[in-house]
Structure formats: C-alpha cells, structure tokens
Structure 1
Amino acid sequence: MSETTSRDRLFKTLADPSRRAIYERIARGGAQTVHALTDRSGISQPAVSKHLGVLKKAGLVADERSGRETRYSATPDGLAPLLDWMKHYGTFWNKHLDELENLLNRID
C-alpha cells in the first residue's frame, strides 16, 4: 500500500467521531474487549465491532483472542502516517514563520 493510500485510510478512519472515541479509549486504557467498549460507548455491540474492524484494517488496533473474548489494543505504529504528514507541514510552517520573523526584524 502506498504512503498516500495508508494516510488517506487513516484520515478517513479517524474522521468518524465514534471510531475516534473507541480508538482513544483503547489507546489510553489499554487492551479492551468488545463488551467493555460497548458498555461505555453508547452504541450497539455490532456497531462497536464494525468500528473495530475499520480501525484494525487501518492498522490502528490489533486483536488477540483469549477463549471466547477478543481483546483489542492500540498498535504503536498505527499513527505513523499521520505523524509523518504533520512533521512535513510543521517543517513548512516553521520555515515560513522564521522568514516572517526575519522580515519583521528587518522592518524594525
């Protein structure tokens, strides 16, 4: 998969507020079952399962089966495309803000 495709999938995945909330709960609280996520989400178990499938396909969560339960945990490198994208634009804006600062200093 190309870098652009994985980044687009990541953005589309995190654009949904329910999916983003599920991901944040897993990232902050550690591995959780579908039942635990459903209890605190305000949405149905099938909807939570569907969101988890999309998060998994985007590389944001991994699942581990334990008996009849599956625990979902955040994947550490899942946000890498987003971080790379932000780094690129951070460099861009830092350069332009430095140039603006130099201009303002010359005007003074």
Structure 2
Amino acid sequence: MSENNPLRDTFDAIADPTRRELIRLLAEAEEVPLHELTSQFQMGRTAVSKHLTILKEAGLVLDRKVGRETRFRLNAEPLREIQHWVSFYSKFWNTNLIRLQHLLEEEEE
C-alpha cells in the first residue's frame, strides 16, 4: 500500500495505461479541467472520472472545484516509491552485469 494513502497502492494505480496517460497529461500542465482530460480519450467522462478516482486514492492526483468545474493536478510525490523500487533493481542489474563482464574477461585470458 502507498504510504501516502492506504486506500490504493501506487503500483496498482499506475498499472493501467489510461492512468499512466492521465499522469503524463497532468505532468505537462499545472491544472487541467475534467472536460479537457476527457477529450484526450476515446471513453466517456464517467470512465475518465473512475480512473482519476483511483489516482486520487493513491495520492497521485489532487482536485479542486472552481465553480461547477473540477480541475485536477498531479501530485508526483507518491511516484518516489516507484523510483526507489526501480533504482534498487537498476543497481542489482548493474552489479550483475559487471560480474558477468569480469567473468568473460577472465575466460578470455
């Protein structure tokens, strides 16, 4: 589970390609109204809202009402959890590739 919000795991929230695209769109703008986000997809407003709810539950999206309009913005902080996880495995693979390189060099000698 996410440290930011126990309702939704960050990894689960970004597992869907539509939600990853929503994150990308929000990262490119300071704040985006729901109707603008919906226009980027071949699905209805309700479906986009459901994806945004999942991202909100993971703490990845913040929203605010401006009159009758809801505007969304990215909160990238929960993505640090994913960055740390990927970083760990990046070090793992780099270490193992260096070992392999040393073994191959020893074989050549």
TM-score bracket for this pair, using the shorter chain length: 0.7 to 0.9
Task: Show the counterpart of 2:86.
Answer: 86
Structure 2: which 5+ runs fail to align?
none
TM-score by length of 1: 0.85
The equivalent of 2:13 in structure 1 is: 13
Question: What pairs up with 1:34-73 in 2 under 5 angstroms?
Answer: 34-73=34-73
- AA aligned opposite 1:21: E
| Equivalent-residue separation in structure 1 for 2:78 and 2:64 (angstroms) | 16
Give the drift of 1:99.
0.8
What is the SS of the residue equivalent to 2:10? Answer: helix
Alpha-carbon separation, structure 1, partners of 2:80 and 2:65: 25
Q: Residues of 2 paired with 1:18 and 1:81: CA distance?
A: 20
Runs of 4+ displaced beyond 3 Å: none
Q: Which has the higher helix share?
A: 1
Is the partner of 2:41 in helix, strand or coil? coil
Identity of paired residues, percent? Answer: 38
Query: For residues 65 and 50 of structure 1, what CA distance do their matches in structure 2 show?
Result: 17
Residues 55-97 of structure 1, C-alpha deviations (whole Å, 9 max, x = no match) = 0111211112222222111112121111010011011111111
Structure 1 unpaired stretches of 5+: none
